[in-house]
Chains A and B, each alone.
Chain A
């Protein structure tokens, strides 16, 4: 944990602890070895059956053929695992050496910085004392002042040199870890063993090593069309999820990835059902896959963007962000997953429709973001899921910020623990991630003044972002989430400058310039169910959750997006 916000003098890197678990990495590497051994053993057994099984007849012939075929299928899998193991070993060695060295220096650097600050203060005092000596002071007093100044100067120089040396060592260790991280990403991307041209392989290394979306965009821009096409087709999972690659290329890559994954199934539930729904969102509802990680554990993650066009009327590709004035990101809370995509995709499309109706020239696009492992009842109390989710959301938002012009208004809408995650991402960042509006609905509490694992001792900082929040009167789950938490016990409505809006039912604008009654949200749910199943299944709580189109809450969100303020 860092206790100061310090930045390295030469490279400008923040002094942060590099997270890793050597024991887990070593365990994964060891067990990968066992898996590879078992895979190789299985292949030998299968080949022995293929070549040496006694007997004649169709059944025997068939089983020999099938055994040979299975052994052949296993071979590329085992070869990939061998390459993955090499990557893990190299990265494990790098963190044990370089990340550890960098982390071990953090306390020393902070202490040296404190010593330097103290020495600088002592020097200033000694300088003042020496300057204040006059001819009236006796020789001994003047001599003492001069000696004190000399000593202070010496101490200051020593402290400065000590700190410089420590920073140099830290930057060196950090840099070596950084290189190992980039190499590991590139190594895993290429672990399928596909061989491409040297230039294209080098492009993967460059893209994996880029530190910001802007750097990625520059590298991508310098590739030839043929290279881009090759990378999209050969490594769609990498290109489709890489922030900084233009969204159009990402959508195309992720569609290729989706088709390949779908064809490789079935995988069993819940993944098969989620893949089915993702496919429907693309084919029937004009959604585009902005992120797609079907095999992430413990839950598949993805993000679907609605309200954009990839082609003009002649079928020519167009920039999907052309004409877009607003981009909104919906972030779910506890238990949220791609199983909820049908409802959330509907809300995303509804939001575009109402924001455009409420605004003057508004052209809205909305992302249904399921990009993190949402918490369960046990983990909801803490900050681990939010910390991981905020890291992932931060990358999405930085990518979005790079993709759209500064004129585009970005709004992030977080429900329940999704607001915890979204507020940590924006408030814990050293900028506002390009987020103009941060909207909490049914918040389970947002991070307290600071969250040690994310911002050091810096307080949450929402500068440059307008905050809005609502909690339905009957939403007991949200309030319980806040008061029972360890680290997210702040009601977002209490943040200075936050604007509260209503969700208890009232008059709202309709789509055609008139007004109508917006429904009350009865509990915590985004769509159906109030605060839970209830004795009667809460049949009365259907289509009136925070994100249901006919609720006061939802209309307020659309109004904020379109105008910057809730319905008055």
Chain B
């Protein structure tokens, strides 16, 4: 397997992993914020419910911003990956076969 293929595989793996982990992270964060917490307003007290909704909301919005940053990273990785593909195509099929003279 060539170096290029190794890097491509590493990049593709990284893209999938970031998409998956940061995507799951923000999905759980959004879901938690939009759920009934179960605290209610016991004996007319609201502070715990409001405080919990607020901290979960803040965490969810942090997670959304982090998710966007994660998308930025995967976009960059995809660009690099695409440039590998372009490079591979421009080199021509079989450029790295064993019989090609190693000029290094």
| Interface residues, chain A, with chain B CB atoms under 8 Å away | 14, 16, 18-28, 31-32, 34-35, 38-39, 41-42, 45-46, 48-49, 53-55, 59-60, 62-63, 66-67, 70, 73-74, 77, 80-81, 84, 88, 91-92, 99, 177, 181, 184-185, 188-189, 191, 208, 237-238, 241, 264, 267, 293-298, 301, 387-388, 391-392, 394-395
Q: A55–B7 contact, CB under 8 A?
A: yes
- Alpha-carbon distance A185/B53, docked complex (angstroms): 12
Q: A38-B25, A62-B76, A66-B73 are in contact. Are A99 and B42 (CB under 8 A)?
A: yes
- Give the residues in chain B near A81, CB-CB below 8 Å: 59
- The answer to the question of B46 belonging to the interface, with a C-beta cut-off of 8 Å to chain A, is yes
Smallest Cβ distance from A59 to chain B, in angstroms? 5
| Interface residues, chain B, with chain A CB atoms under 8 Å away | 6-7, 10-11, 14, 17-18, 21-22, 24-25, 28-29, 31-48, 50-64, 66, 69-70, 72-73, 76-77, 79-80, 83
Leading 10 A-B pairs by shortest Cβ distance = A24-B38, A295-B57, A21-B38, A42-B21, A19-B40, A35-B28, A25-B38, A38-B25, A391-B41, A38-B24
Q: B69–A73 contact, CB under 8 A?
A: yes
Interface of B is mostly: helix
Q: A237–B54 contact, CB under 8 A?
A: yes
Smallest Cβ distance from A8 to chain B, in angstroms? 12
- Give the residues in chain A near B69, CB-CB below 8 Å: 66, 70, 73
- Alpha-carbon distance A55/B53, docked complex (angstroms): 44
Q: B21–A54 contact, CB under 8 A?
A: no
Q: B38–A23 contact, CB under 8 A?
A: yes
Smallest Cβ distance from A209 to chain B, in angstroms? 11
- Give the residues in chain A near B52, CB-CB below 8 Å: 84, 88, 188
Q: B54–A293 contact, CB under 8 A?
A: yes
Can you offer 19 A-B residue contacts whose CB atoms are under 8 A?
A20-B39, A22-B38, A27-B38, A28-B32, A42-B22, A46-B70, A49-B18, A59-B76, A59-B80, A77-B62, A80-B59, A84-B59, A188-B52, A237-B54, A238-B51, A293-B53, A295-B33, A295-B60, A296-B53
Of the residues A42, A59, A238, contact of B18 by C-beta under 8 Å: A42
Q: A73–B46 contact, CB under 8 A?
A: no
- Alpha-carbon distance A335/B54, docked complex (angstroms): 21
Q: A66-B73, A295-B54, A297-B33 are in contact. Are A25 and B63 (CB under 8 A)?
A: no
Q: B37–A24 contact, CB under 8 A?
A: yes
Smallest Cβ distance from B95 to chain A, in angstroms? 18
- Give the residues in chain B near A184, CB-CB below 8 Å: 48
Q: A181–B42 contact, CB under 8 A?
A: yes
- Give the residues in chain A near B25, CB-CB below 8 Å: 35, 38-39, 41-42, 74
- Give the residues in chain A near B48, CB-CB below 8 Å: 91, 181, 184-185, 188
Of the residues A24, A70, A99, A185, contact of B51 by C-beta under 8 Å: A185
- Alpha-carbon distance A267/B37, docked complex (angstroms): 22
Find the A residue at minimum CB distance from B28: A35
Q: A59-B79, A67-B73 are in contact. Are A297 and B43 (CB under 8 A)?
A: no
- Give the residues in chain B near A185, CB-CB below 8 Å: 47-48, 51
Find the A residue at minimum CB distance from B4: A55
- Alpha-carbon distance A208/B45, docked complex (angstroms): 12
- Give the residues in chain A near B7, CB-CB below 8 Å: 54-55
- Alpha-carbon distance A191/B17, docked complex (angstroms): 29
Find the B residue at minimum CB distance from A181: B48
Find the B residue at minimum CB distance from A208: B47
Of the residues A18, A74, A88, A392, contact of B46 by C-beta under 8 Å: A392
- Give the residues in chain B near A28, CB-CB below 8 Å: 32, 35, 37-38
Q: B80–A63 contact, CB under 8 A?
A: yes
- Alpha-carbon distance A188/B44, docked complex (angstroms): 19
- Alpha-carbon distance A181/B29, docked complex (angstroms): 24
Listed residue (B33, B47, B56) with the most chain A CB atoms within 10 angstroms of its CB: B47
- Alpha-carbon distance A209/B92, docked complex (angstroms): 73
- Alpha-carbon distance A23/B72, docked complex (angstroms): 38
- Give the residues in chain A near B18, CB-CB below 8 Å: 42, 45-46, 49, 67
- Alpha-carbon distance A391/B45, docked complex (angstroms): 7
Smallest Cβ distance from A126 to chain B, in angstroms? 39
Smallest Cβ distance from A395 to chain B, in angstroms? 6
Q: B59–A42 contact, CB under 8 A?
A: no
- Give the residues in chain B near A25, CB-CB below 8 Å: 37-39
Q: A267–B61 contact, CB under 8 A?
A: yes
- Alpha-carbon distance A161/B102, docked complex (angstroms): 99
A38-B25, A42-B25, A55-B11 known; 13 new pairs, CB 8 Å cut-off, are A19-B41, A20-B39, A20-B42, A46-B70, A53-B10, A59-B79, A59-B83, A60-B80, A70-B73, A74-B66, A181-B45, A267-B61, A297-B53
- Give the residues in chain B near A55, CB-CB below 8 Å: 7, 10-11, 80
Q: A189–B51 contact, CB under 8 A?
A: yes
Q: A31–B54 contact, CB under 8 A?
A: no
Find the B residue at minimum CB distance from A296: B53
- Give the residues in chain B near A62, CB-CB below 8 Å: 76
Q: A188–B70 contact, CB under 8 A?
A: no
Of the residues A31, A41, A60, A77, contact of B59 by C-beta under 8 Å: A77
Q: B29–A35 contact, CB under 8 A?
A: yes
- Give the residues in chain B near A16, CB-CB below 8 Å: 43
Find the A residue at minimum CB distance from B79: A59
- Alpha-carbon distance A26/B59, docked complex (angstroms): 19
Smallest Cβ distance from B84 to chain A, in angstroms? 9
Smallest Cβ distance from B35 to chain A, in angstroms? 7
Q: A63–B76 contact, CB under 8 A?
A: yes
- Alpha-carbon distance A32/B28, docked complex (angstroms): 8
- Give the residues in chain B near A267, CB-CB below 8 Å: 61, 64
